[in-house]
Structure 1
Amino acid sequence: MARLWFRSALLPDGWAEGVALAIADGRIAAVARGVPAAAGDERAEIGLPGLTNLHSHAFQRGMAGLAETRGPGPDSFWTWREVMYRFVDRMDPDDAEAIAAQAYVEMLEAGFTRVGEFHYLHHDPAGAPYADRAEMAARIAAAAQSTGIGLTLLPVFYAHGGFGPGRGAPPAPPSPGQRRFLSDRDGFAALMRDSRRAVAELPDAVVGIAPHSLRAATLDDIAAILPLAEGGPVHIHAAEQVREVEECLAATGARPVELLLDRAGVDRRWCLIHATHMTAAERRRFAASGAVAGLCPITEANLGDGVFPLAAFAGEGGLVGIGSDSNVLISAAAELRLLEYAQRLTGQARAVAATPAHPSTGRALIEACLAGGGQALGAPGGLAVGHSADIIALDPDHPALAARSRDAWLDGWIFAAREGGVEQVWRAGRRVVADGRHVAREAVAARFRATLARLAA
């Protein structure tokens, strides 16, 4: 049994000094407070629970920065999507694994210890299933295993190209750019079976399902595939764009979040990604459902999506978590900072996420996203007995943390650290980041660079 000792650590009931965590089989077996370090302990100064990245498309890390050039007309999410389709056109399984590994190294260095991989790149470049239907899922699992990140795999059901042109019209057919994502219901059932096998060697992997969106999966599709989750998480993109809401209204007579709440049985298993554009009534019902809002502030800003109504939603008891989505920039602190700053800009107020229980904005953000992210990925977080030993240590010598303590460390890391701040990371009790660098950073980065060079050739 290994032991980690922290001078200060954030436990579920608050900060404590002299904290020793006993680790067995990758989980926290015991927590002691007010104890001195012992011979043989791994030691650090400031211990925090690892953070959860509840929404990632790992392959998009390879196209980060490639969609920042304006086209001949107005740019939007929809023009960005065309760049994405072109990028995936040549990617093979080796490429997908190399890019995912780079993304996962960066996540761990940033303090994310588990990722929800919203995985929809299933087929070969012609759109045909691989001999092993879960070939691409197996590559995601391999990237997770080689880097050490915890994985919640969310295979995506994607059958249609968009909403029909009017009320009662059939869904639009898929476009050529979507051919690598597509499944029918029977094919998706086979994909789910093989995806479970693909992650079987990861000791704490979780598998759920992800109907991509109401654009790509009808309510009948969702009802048919829901049993394939087998009680695991259910994630879906919803109300990310105004155009999506307008098209959903025209095709169904209801808004996306409204439709899901009315007809899909949304409950605590569910995570609605983005949910940016809701009415007040939708927002209140969503909060009451127990489902999680999966917020991706950097990507939402990059794509011009809009701003989620965090203050009202949280005030109504809504649960939230953060994700890196398009992986254009991977930073846990930056996601939390932008989540708060967007609220300040739109509401002309400060410390919006703070609460009477947690007047520190940083502490309030971390506590909220630990709870929501853990629920959304089927893997509760926190430094508690029985939980995975997913732990980060902040750098006490970082200038943004100087002359601070406890909650002020969190505020310094999120709002004042230009970069860095995470000194060490343990995942399932194994140290994967030391002195701010992942133990396999150089090898993973070299493979990533070679992959992008080949794709660009």
Structure 2
Amino acid sequence: MTTYRCEQAWLPQGITRDVLITVADDGTIAAITTLDAPGEGWGPRGGEISLRGLVFPGFANAHSHAFHRALRGRTHGDGGTFWTWRERMYALAAKLDPDTYLALARAAYAEMALAGVTCVGEFHYLHHAPGGRRYDDPNAMGVALIQAAKDAGVRLTLLDTCYLAGGIGEPVSAEQLRFSDGTAQAWASRVADLEADATTRIGGAIHSVRAVPRAALSEVGACQGPLHVHLSEQPAENEACLAAYGRTPTELLAEAGVLGPRTTAVHATHLTAGDIALLGGSGTGACFCPTTEGDLADGLGPARELLSAGSPLSLGSDQHAVVDPLVEARALEHGERFRTGQRGRLSPDELLAAMTTAGHTALGWPEAGQLKVGAPADFVAVRLDTPRTAGCLPAQAMFAASASDVDTVVVGGRVVVRDGGHVLGDVGSLLAKAIEGLWA
């Protein structure tokens, strides 16, 4: 067993000083105790590993497209729109194979670990070779992602994504052939060969109502594990859905029977009051990606209304314009302030839930996301004595701290990040090598 001594820890009952977390050999939390003499030194004591600052449960990144990391800082020269950004994304996708994807995803996941992410939800739609040709292993790209997460030391939920159309009533384009299995049955057959393990879980995804025809929604929604879907990210999606089906995307999903507690609507930006009621009433989660939604000028979704209606909120980094769960959390609240002119729309406890428990539940890890006995030993120590955090109240650390303040990250009892450095070494160099090779 290994014992970690936490200067402060955010336990389910609140922030507590001088906490010992004992990790069993199977990587779960065996015991949590509070010391009798708070503040008594911080050197090594009897083999304990000391964690300064505030120890959070591990952060969940509920929405990732790993290959988009290679787009950071490369899409802003002419402004453009979401749709012109998408063309740049297609050009990048065409360059990847299982080996280059492994290198890029490994580095991208390591960057997430440096920011305190211990579990990633990968919305995976880059399945096949250029032209739609199947690799010898039809899941070679997904297997690369699974290996990348293992190498980076984080948990992964592979949300294998069904993508069958180029738009409502349109065939897939040449660029989209890599994404498509042709039919929902072929998609489900391929996904059935993916294997979960101790650090990997498998789920499914409906790319969007643009990419999965109405007749296939129920079949895709019958997949095992968590189900995610891009929902109402753009007004054009809503307009096309209304024109084709006479329903909003949310109403179409409700009609297909795919809403519910195991489903997460990603973005959920342009919603009607009726959409909010359907999502909340069914217990469907909502994953907001504030830095990406800002980067792509998508707009601000109704976070408070969804949470109040019954939709758990989680957070994702999506295209990784920023990889920082603490920044995403306060951007969620700041978005509410921009949208309404009111402060305190989401409390620190609600933001913490979005970063931890709700995110893990959305990814099919309901046992994770809290510091409690029996949970996976996944936690993050954030320094409270840096130029950014000095003087802040611990309970409001997410309004002050950033990824730069993450000192130690533990996943399954294993130290993945220590003193702000990843076990893989220089992550910046890993990223640079992987990305420069793609754009050379």
Q: Residue deviations 1:333-391, cap 9 Å, x none?
A: 1111211111111211212212xxxxxxx343112442321220011311011211110
Kindly tell me the number of residue pairs found equivalent between the two proteins: 429
Is the contact between residue 116 and residue 154 of structure 1 (CA under 8 Å) also seen in structure 2? yes
Could you say if the C-alpha distance between residues 403 and 451 of structure 1 is closer, same or farther in structure 2, counting changes exceeding 3 Å? Answer: closer
Q: Distance in 1 between matches of 2:116 and 2:66?
A: 16
Preserved CA contact (<8 Å) 2:21 2:32: yes
Report the counterpart of residue 185 of structure 2 in structure 1: 186
Distance 1:125 1:265 in 2: 31
3-state secondary structure, aligned to 1:208: strand
Partner of 1:92: 97
User: 2:21 matched to 1:18?
Assistant: no
1:447 deviates by 4.1
Structure 1: tracts of 5 or more residues without a match: 164-170, 355-361
Contact 1:219 1:264 (8 Å CA) reproduced: no
The alpha carbon displacement at 1:270 in A equals 0.3
Q: Residue 131 of structure 2 contacts residue 174 of structure 2 at CA under 8 Å; is this kept in 1?
A: no
Displacement of 1:441 in angstroms is: 3.4
- How far has the Cα of 1:38 moved from its partner? 4.8
**Partner in structure 2 of residue 377 of structure 1:** 363
Distance of 1:275 and 1:308 partners within structure 2: 6
Alpha-carbon contact 2:5-2:18 (below 8 Å) kept: yes
Amino acid at match of 1:207: I
C-alpha spacing 1:310/1:440, structure 2 compared with 1 (3 Å): same
Q: Give the % identical residues.
A: 36
Would you say 1:402 and 2:402 are equivalent positions?
Answer: no
Matches of residues 305-454 of structure 1 in structure 2 within 5 Å?
A: 305-354=298-347, 362-380=348-366, 381-413=369-401, 420-442=404-426, 444-454=427-437
8 Å CA contact 1:51, 1:113 repeated in 2: yes
The separation in 2 between residues aligned to 1:228 and 1:315, in whole angstroms, is 28
Corresponding residue number in structure 2 for 1:359: none
The amino acid across from 1:422 in the alignment is V
Deviation per CA, 1:221-246: give whole Å up to 9, x if none: 122233332xx100010110000000
Deviations 1:57-86 (A, max 9, x none): 001101212211227xxx221111111001
Letter in 1 for 2:34: R
What is the deviation of 1:266?
0.9
Q: Which SS does the other structure have where 1:43 is aligned? A: strand
Alpha-carbon contact 2:119-2:360 (below 8 Å) kept = no
Q: Which runs of 5+ in 2 are unaligned?
A: 38-43
Give, in whole Å, the separation in 2 of the partners of 1:368 and 1:90. 34
TM-score (norm 2): 0.93
Q: Is the 8 A contact 1:319 1:372 kept in 2?
A: yes
The one-letter amino acid paired with 1:286 is: L
- SS of the residue corresponding to residue 209 of structure 1 reads strand
- What's the counterpart of residue 166 of structure 1? none
Alignment partner, residue 266 of structure 1:
259
The Cα of 1:302 is off from its aligned counterpart by 0.9
Displacement of 1:176 after TM fit?
1.0
Q: Which residue of 1 aligns with 2:51?
A: 44
Give the match's secondary structure for 1:114: strand
Counterpart Cα distance in 2 of 1:409 and 1:328: 22
Q: CA, structure 1 residues 42+120, in 2 after alignment: closer, same or farther (shift >3 Å)?
A: same
Among 207, 213, 216, the alignment partner of 2:202 is 207
Paired position in structure 2 for 1:167: none
Deviation at 1:405, TM superposition (A): 4.2
The Cα offsets for residues 233-289 of structure 1, whole Å up to 9 and x where unpaired, read as 000101100000000000110000122123223110000111111111211221121
Moved over 6 A (4+): none
Q: State the one-letter code of the partner of 2:28.
A: R
Deviation at 1:188, TM superposition (A): 1.2
CA 1:135/1:56 → structure 2, altered by over 3 Å: closer, same or farther?
same
Structure-2 residue corresponding to 1:243 = 236
Deviations 1:304-324 (A, max 9, x none): 111011122223332100000
